[in-house]
Structure formats: structure tokens, C-alpha cells
Chain A
């Protein structure tokens, strides 16, 4: 299979920084996405990494190490509205069909 592991839940204080880690199986890897999902709503796209390194987009940054099968999403200057689940998803190339495989999601709770 293509196990994608991320922590179940994290808690942080408003204004702080939180780092959400994601590890994945590297065979067939062709790119990694981070999505944000508020409760009861659809996931929305945050970032895409296919090369090693850090991609910065405002308060959110995403890092990838392909050799280690590791990524993280960094949320800076946390705001209350950042309370949501964050989904790590990997695009795998497979003979049986390419597909996006999701991790279980990390629920982030931002406290005042």
C-alpha cells in the first residue's frame, strides 16, 4: 500500500507556529499536496511540492525531502480561523492507474 502517516491532532496558541509532519512510501512518488479542510466542508488546496526544498506561500510553507519520504506543513502567526484539519496527499504513478492517496489528516486546534 501507500501508507501516509501524519499526527492525529495538534494544539497551538494564537500567534504561534505549528509544524505538521507527513511521511509516505517513496515508490512511485510523483508529487505531494497539502489541503485544508474545515469541519463539514470540502478540502481546499494549500500547496504542492514535487522537488526537494521549501515552498513559501504567505503564512504557510511546505517542505519536501523525496529521499526521506518526508514533508511538513508550517503554519506561522496562527489565527483562530486556522483551526481545521490538514490533509497530506501523495500522487503515485502506478501501472494500475495514477491516483492521489490521502493521509488521515491532522486536526489543528488554535487556542486564544
Chain B
């Protein structure tokens, strides 16, 4: 079955440690995205990538880093510089182009990160 996988579902880290969240898709989508969601809030865009080896900052990129070395993979690193890292992190992907299919994003199951 095609889809997006994120692992692990729950992740716990100590303050001051960097942590990397994985995101893999086998939908052959060109574009991938990382969002952060806080309790009772909407989704905020952290980083996105339209093509391999290229990515752009979203609205809240500070304290995060990404890489896009393969089409299928878009890992997100939460660095110690991120002041409030505890949140629900969602990865998404979409086709490229100008049709609706390019705008519709498919989401992974999410990773809930808790930093203490």
C-alpha cells in the first residue's frame, strides 16, 4: 500500500538534545512538508521541499533543520535551539504541478515529541 510513514509515534528527549524525526513516502510525490501542531491549534509550516536537494523555510523554521537527499525521505531535526519543541509533528507530501492534485496533501500519522 502507498502512503507516508513517520516513526516513532511517540518520542521522548531530554532538553538540550537534538532529535531527528523520520518521514518516508512511497507515493512518488515530488513535494514534502513538515508541520507542527500544538494542542487545540492548527498546523504551522516548518519546512517544505518541492524537489530533491532543495528545501525552503516555512513560517516557523527557527530551531529546525531538514535534508532532502532522496525523493522518498524528508527527515526533520529538532535542535536544542528550538525553545518549545514539545508538539505533534506531521509530515505530508503532494504531487507537483498546478492542478488540484498538486495542492492536495497526504499526511503521515504524526510523531508526538515530548522534551523534558
Contact = CB atoms under 8 A, between A and B. Distances in A.
Contacts of B107: 42-44
A33 interface: yes
Give the interface residue-count category, chain B: 20 to 34
A89 B89 CA distance: 17
Contacts of A50: 100
Could you tell me the dominant secondary structure of chain A's interface residues?
A: strand
Contacts of B44: 102
Interface stretch (B61-69, B75-83, B108-116): B108-116
Contact of B103 (A4, A8, A31, A87): A31
29 contacts: A4-B42, A31-B100, A31-B103, A33-B103, A40-B88, A40-B110, A40-B112, A41-B110, A43-B43, A43-B90, A45-B104, A45-B105, A48-B100, A48-B104, A87-B43, A89-B43, A91-B103, A97-B48, A97-B56, A99-B45, A100-B33, A100-B45, A100-B103, A100-B105, A102-B43, A104-B42, A105-B41, A105-B42, A107-B40
